[in-house]
Structures are given as structure tokens and as C-alpha cells.
Structure 1
Amino acid sequence: MSLPLPPPPPHIELAGSPREIGLEHGKQLAVQIRRQIQVYSAMFQRTSNLDWQAVRNISVAYQNTIRFLAPDIYDEMEGIAEGANLSILDIVALNARSEIALGLFSDGCTSLGWKLGGIGYGDVILAQNWDWTPRIQENLAMMSIDQPGHPKIYMIAEAGIVGKIGFNSASVGVCLNAIRAHPTDASKLPIHVALRLCLQSTSTQNAIERITSLGGVASSQHILIADRSGALAMELSPLGDAYIPPNERGYVVHTNHFIANKCGVTEPHWPGVGSHERLARINELMKQVEGEVGAGLADGDGEFRHTLRHEIFSDTFNSPASICCMENPVKPIETRSRTLFCIMMKFSSGAAPSAEVVWGNDLAGPVPEGHILQMPWV
């Protein structure tokens, strides 16, 4: 039985200096940011036996790292804190939440990057289901960020967090798959800051060079990044990185475990998430979809997105740990996940980038009016 559909997210438009952007973010989403702190406080207590003050204490090390390596983003975080009337450590903790829990919880997701027509030519599709606790759905927002010297950003982000899933006006887009592994390294950048750096980049290569020049990331994560040339799987860890190019048919898929990264992180079994099963399943489904997606269908944007949504992203094989994730009632309520939205970005030569977002996890049938969202929005 389908769950009631959540209300669509707010749209907020941010512009100016880093501090101005942060200040407006904090003012407009102050209620949602405070709810985020409540959600993650309960999660940290459940998974790590840390109260929020202990989380803030751990955040000091990440605060120092962000201030040193990415001072403009730190200025934005200070603005968020001021706008929401919170401590800067509250905002740092939200942005470093994947690292502070030492891999004891993280969002799931299944992602796909595909250059239609193969390696050499065609539109690039970057898509994923984002799976996480439904308790934060009401705290998500669609944001645009316009700041001098960088492409304009369009993303879906958690309130209080500076980087997430989306794309920019230079046709660089990112998806995220969390990897549960040890160690973490607070001298490196939290993954949500790294995502923001990607979204400030002008190409995939520019993003890689930027993150590498700053010393890499603080926790094990996968970023599926794409520009008009195609997609690339970036398996990142504090011990070293690995990259997976598209296959000969132009696509690469990923879930929540390392495939190529052999840099020595400890990646224990993650029961109940079905990462290996989802990876096998999406590869199986892609073989079917490839046969259906000819040049005509690829040109028919709405029909193509419908095909991907109905034949891949709505798939419930191995439910509840399926591509379209359902809540597992056996798990504690603080750490249950389900698909919260499905995003499909499109990058084409000679055209502006765009995305379609289906809000909620009722992906198999007709989507009610108001739950298919566009980026950019009017």
C-alpha cells in the first residue's frame, strides 16, 4: 500500500557573497535546520551513544579543517548559523554528520550515469534514488545558489547543509552513495563540503583536481559525477581514491559499497541495505532498458524519463532493501530509510542543463500533480 505523499519542498534562491548566501539560507530554513538537529541528535544517540554536545565537541576538528581548506564555505556556514540563531558548531556538525558517526549510519541510494548512444556522443543522463530517513523529508529544500566566480548551482539539500545532489549551469552534476567504512580523518574535508566543491566546478576534471589539491575527503564515499562528456564514478576515501569509467555502452552504476577502491579501508558487512543485490539488479535492468532506448526514445525526453523511472527506479526486487527503498519495520525508527525522491539530470551539447525530480517514493504509477518538479524552476 502506498504511503501518503509528502508535500513538495520549498524553493529558496540564494545569491551574493558566501556570508550573504549563508545568512539567507539560515533565515529561510531556520525551522527546518532546528528539526534537522533534533533528528540527527536522536540518530547519534542511537547509533553512537553521543549526545548533541558531544557531537559538537567532535565537530571542532572539522571546523578547523573547513576554515583552513575552504574558507569561503566556512564563511557561508557562519552565515547559516547567524541566520538561524545557532552555534557554528551546530552547522559544522550537520555538514560533517557522515563523518562524525564513524560510518555507523549513512544514506543509501542507487545511482546511474549514462551517455546515450555510447561513449562517443549523445545526451548525458545522471540519475538516482535518494534513500534516507523519512524524518528529514520535511527538512529538504530545492536551492539555487548564485555567487560571483562560480557556475550557478541547483541542488536538493538538507537544511543547513552546503552541498548535496544536483548540478550547475556548466553542466556538472553529482549524485552521492554513502559507503560505510573506517577510518575517518578530520584533517580532510567532509563529503558534503566536497560535493559543494564539485558543484562549483566547470568540469569533472576540474572537480577532481580541486578535491585532490585540498587533500581528499574525510570519509569513504562515492560521488557519481557527470558533465557533457559523460559520467565517472569517484570512489573516495581518506586512504586513497579510485575511479570507475563508463562501460563500452556509455554507462556506470553504483550503490553503497566500493567496487574498485582497494586502498585499505575497513568496509564491514552492512546488513539489511542490499547494496550488492541492488548493484546486480540495476545492471540486470540496464540490459533490458538498453534494448528499448533507441535514438527516437532518447530524443523523447518525457518518454525516456518515464522508462527509467518505471523500469529501474521504481523496482522493488529484494524489498525493503530494493532500488526503490521501503522502510524496514524491524529497524529502529531513527535509522529506517526509504526512497525520498528520484532525480534525473540531463546534460546536452548546445542546451542548458535541467533535471526532473519525482518527490516521494511512489514511482511505479502515475505521479500526482505537483510531485514532478523541475530544475531550474520558473
Structure 2
Amino acid sequence: MDWQGKVPRIILSGSPYEIGLAHGRLLAEQILAQLVIYRALFLETCKFEWEHVLDVAAEFSATIEQLAPDLLEEMRGIADGTGSTDVGLLDIIALNCRSEIALGQWDDGCTALGWRLPTDNNSQKQILAQNWDWRTTVGPNLAMVSIRQQGKPTIWMVTEPGIVGKIGFNSSSVGVCLNAIRARPTLTTLLPIHILLRLALESPSASDAISTIEALGGAGSSQHILIADSAGARSLELSPRGGVYLGADADGLVVHTNHFLANRLVDEPPWLAGSPLRLARARELCQEILVGAQRSELPAGQVVDATVLRRRVFSDAEGAPQAICCVPDVARGGLASIETLFNIVMTFEDGKSPVAEVVFGRPGSATESSVYKMPW
């Protein structure tokens, strides 16, 4: 796959509509390709015709207009920016609500971790990282986006074109990762998870982001956000019936995959057999790194960086195909094929600007891209 060395990096600024308009114009080809993919996915996996998808998107539109009107205007700009008469506002809303509209019938998996580590006797750094696993066909459409808005932190994220909030961080060192959870119910009267991710990335701190999510009533579907800033990480197990928040363990580590660890407020049937295995494996690998740091008598924060995590944790193929580094299942072809599409490692330290490294494709596979730096 040659798309991994050609991922677009775009910078957006201005009013919400202007941001969306530029987004739509610069990524029009990718947005149109995404709509083709998701029309087929909804039909194949959920038996939903696109007309039904747009009907549900219209219900979410009313909620977004009430609770996050600026982002509705941004989505309107995206639709207009594509220049296609076949793309309307509801099509873009459908992309941003895809997880909720699917009613938990999709089987995307990801492995995320937050790790607070000492760099010397007086300072620490916070790492936030994940492998993002999704349909192979989506990979060639991925983009890196920076958003500059007056009075808000600058955002850098990796996203699917057309979607306004995804995985990344801001200039205030607030970062987010995402793990899909398959559970019911889904409520169109609450905001979709990708909208909440964007609002978190507009926040000056992780605690402010959590307060915003709570003030808006929580999430319209069951999802997990791993959020961090330079003060630490929190695991947010969100659902329409309420959220449960988890902190780091004694080693400063929090790991999450695709099942709730503590939230029992929703109906969550088992769906990814590899999820608990990846969770245990990631913890095991991090402990091995920690033991090695102790043997070297160096502060763990001086040992653990993006390169080490990609090599020692995120390239791990144990339990394949449902491994931390997800490989396509030979028994599932076409639209059903899922693999790790990118790895991101963000680093936040007091007194330093936030940074991240992104590798597209499966880390450690010898087919992945070179390292992309954020900011750029």
C-alpha cells in the first residue's frame, strides 16, 4: 500500500463555516470516497439503506444544533466545500454520527494507553498513545488536520475526512484517544462521540473537557475516551446512561481496549474475543519495559518514548489477527477486512510544547510509513 507516505496535512482556520469550507475543498476527493465506503458498510453490516442513515442523522442534527451549533456550521461548510451536488449537510452529519447510527454493529478495535513517567527527581511526562484499527479501505483517505480558532487552543489530529473530531491533541497539552464499545442503548438526544472528541480538544485541560462532557449530558452511544494532559490520564467509560471514570495504576499506567472495565450501566454483550487479551498483553509489555528501566537504573521517562512503545508494545502481533497490531483476517475479505491503520504517541510535559509521532500502517510490519511529526 503506497498511501501511507502520502497522507495529507492541512491547516484550517477562521469561522466555523470557513473551517468546514476549507476542510471540504482540500479533502473533497477523500470525503467522497468515505461516503462510498460508509454507504456500502451500512448496507452490508447493518442492512441500512442510506435513506435510513440520513433519517437518523437528521435526529442527531437537531441535537448538535442545540448543544454544539458551531460544529453544525462547520459540517455545513464541509458539505458545501466538497463542491458536489450529491453531498448535503446530512451526509456529513452521518459520517460524524457513524458509530451511533450503526447501533454497535461494527467491530472496530483499538488499543490505547496513558502512562505518566518520571524523567528525573523533579519532573514527569505524560504519554498518550494508541493503535487505531479500522476497515482497510479507509486507510487511503486518512488525513492530518490542524485547526486554529480564535480564543481556543490549536488542535492537531488524525481524522477521517469529513469528521470534525478524532484522535489527537491541542496546544494546551490535552489529548484524546478512542476505543469503540458495542453496547446499547443509543440516544439521538445526546451528542455523538466524534463531536465530544472535538469539544474535548477545544478544552484548556482534561478536567475542563470532562466537565464539558458532563454538562452536555454525556455521550449518545457507549464509547471509551482516554483523555490526558500534563497532569495525568483518565479513562472515560461513557454511555447514554452515565459514565464511569478510571485513573492510572500505581505505575502511572492506564490501558484500555474494546470492553468496559467498570461501567455496568449498559447492555454490553461480548463481541471481540481479542479485547481482554490485548488489554492483558499491553499491560504485560509495559511492565517488561518498566522492569528494564529499573534494571538500567534510569528514570522510566528517559527510557520510554514513542520509538520504544512502537517497537515493544504497538507492533506486538501475539493473538493475531486480533492482536495489538491488528492484521487482516484471511477469512474476512473486502469491506470486512480490518487492520491497524495508524499508531500515534503523544507526549506532554510541563514547560514544554506538546508533541506527537504518527506512523501510518501497521507498526513493525516493514510496510508502515516513516514517522510523521505533530505539530508540523
Q: Same fold (TM over 0.5)?
A: yes
Q: Which of 233, 240, 243 is the matching residue for 2:242?
A: 240
Q: Does structure 2 retain, via aligned residues, the 8 Å contact 1:310–1:364? A: no
Q: Which of 167, 184, 187 is the matching residue for 1:185?
A: 187
Q: Which amino acid letter does the alignment assign opposite residue 375 of structure 1?
A: M
Q: Does structure 1 retain, via aligned residues, the 8 Å contact 2:311–2:363? A: no
Distance 2:101 2:305 in 1: 40
Distance 2:364 2:98 in 1: 29
Distance 2:6 2:124 in 1: 32
**1:235 is paired with a residue of what secondary structure?**
strand
The unaligned stretches of length 5 or more in structure 2 are none
**1:318 is paired with a residue of what secondary structure?**
coil
Q: Does structure 2 retain, via aligned residues, the 8 Å contact 1:112–1:254? A: yes
How many Å apart are 1:297 and its aligned residue?
6.2
Identity of aligned residues (%): 49
Tell me the alpha carbon deviations over residues 27-61 of structure 1, each in whole angstroms, 9 at most, x when there is no partner: 11111111001111111001111121221111110
Q: Which of 252, 255, 280 is the matching residue for 1:253?
A: 255
Q: Which residue of 2 aligns with 1:291?
A: 291
Q: Does structure 1 retain, via aligned residues, the 8 Å contact 2:145–2:159? A: yes
Q: Which residue of 2 aligns with 1:356?
A: 357
Distance 1:215 1:266 in 2: 19
Q: Which residue of 2 aligns with 1:77?
A: 75
Q: Which amino acid letter does the alignment assign opposite residue 211 of structure 2?
A: E
Q: Does structure 2 retain, via aligned residues, the 8 Å contact 1:142–1:155? A: yes
Distance 1:253 1:284 in 2: 11
2:279 aligned with 1:276: no
Tell me the alpha carbon deviations over residues 90-126 of structure 1, each in whole angstroms, 9 at most, x when there is no partner: 00000000000100015311001000039x9510000
Q: Which residue of 1 aligns with 2:204?
A: 202
Distance 1:84 1:364 in 2: 35
Distance 1:27 1:304 in 2: 36
Q: Does structure 1 retain, via aligned residues, the 8 Å contact 2:113–2:254? A: yes
Q: Does structure 2 retain, via aligned residues, the 8 Å contact 1:293–1:304? A: no
TM-score normalised to the size of structure 2? 0.94
2:313 aligned with 1:312: yes
Q: Which of 150, 153, 161 is the matching residue for 1:151?
A: 153
Q: Which residue of 2 aligns with 1:328?
A: 329
Distance 2:2 2:150 in 1: 41
**1:116 is paired with a residue of what secondary structure?**
strand
How many Å apart are 1:287 and its aligned residue?
1.3
TM-aligned CA distance change 1:141 to 1:197, over 3 Å: same
Distance 1:5 1:314 in 2: 19
Q: Which residue of 2 aligns with 1:110?
A: 111
How large is the Cα RMSD of the aligned pairs? 1.8
How many Å apart are 1:311 and its aligned residue?
1.1
Distance 2:300 2:286 in 1: 15
Q: Does structure 2 retain, via aligned residues, the 8 Å contact 1:355–1:374? A: yes
**1:293 is paired with a residue of what secondary structure?**
helix
> How many residue pairs are counted as aligned between the two chains?
369
Distance 2:60 2:370 in 1: 36
Distance 2:81 2:293 in 1: 47
Q: Which residue of 1 aligns with 2:64?
A: 66
The unaligned stretches of length 5 or more in structure 1 are none
Distance 2:198 2:373 in 1: 20
Which runs of structure 1 show a deviation greater than 6 angstroms over 4 or more consecutive aligned residues?
A: none
